[in-house]
Structure formats: structure tokens, C-alpha cells
């Protein structure tokens, strides 16, 4: 058996583009994506230019992991 070792496996977080301008720097670089912090998982809206957090909303308790019991 041969394995392809040329391309490393990496995780890539999709940052969803949101229309609008940053209130601080005016850049049109707003992205929405999940983050984890001391308070748990959050969906944040951040400017990718100056890193201002425009919005931070609580997300599911396990982030991207969804238990079958949560679907009942």
C-alpha cells in the first residue's frame, strides 16, 4: 500500500462574509464564525481588518458537535 504524504491534512474554518462596514475602521471585511472562550461557544461577527467584535451571540453548548438527544 502506498499513501500520499504530499498534502498535509489541516482544518480550515469557514468565515462567512457579511455585508456591511466596520464601525471602527470602515473596512468591508466583516466575517461571521464560531469561537470558543471561557464562557463557551459563541458566534461572532468580527472585522478582519482591525479585529473589532461587532456582535457576539451564544451558540450551542458543544459548538459544532450536535448530539442526537438534542434533536429530540
Model pLDDT, residue 64: 84
Model pLDDT, residue 11: 80
Cα–Cα distances (Å) from 59 to 3, 39, 41, 50, in that order, read: 38, 10, 5, 23
In 10 A of CB 30, how many CB atoms? 22
pTM of the model: 0.75
- Report the distance separating Cα 5 and Cα 20, nearest Å: 41
Model pLDDT, residue 5: 65
Model pLDDT, residue 60: 87
Model pLDDT, residue 43: 96
Mean pLDDT in order along the chain per 10 residues (72 residues)? 67 92 97 94 97 95 85 80
Model pLDDT, residue 3: 61
Amino acid at each position: 500500500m502506498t499513501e500520499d504524504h504530499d498534502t498535509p491534512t489541516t482544518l480550515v474554518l469557514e468565515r462567512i462574509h457579511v455585508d456591511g462596514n466596520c464601525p471602527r475602521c470602515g473596512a468591508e471585511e466583516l466575517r461571521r464564525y464560531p469561537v470558543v472562550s471561557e464562557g463557551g461557544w459563541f458566534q461572532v461577527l468580527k472585522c478582519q481588518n482591525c479585529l473589532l467584535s461587532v456582535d457576539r451571540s451564544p451558540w450551542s453548548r458543544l459548538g459544532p458537535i450536535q448530539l442526537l438527544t438534542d434533536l429530540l
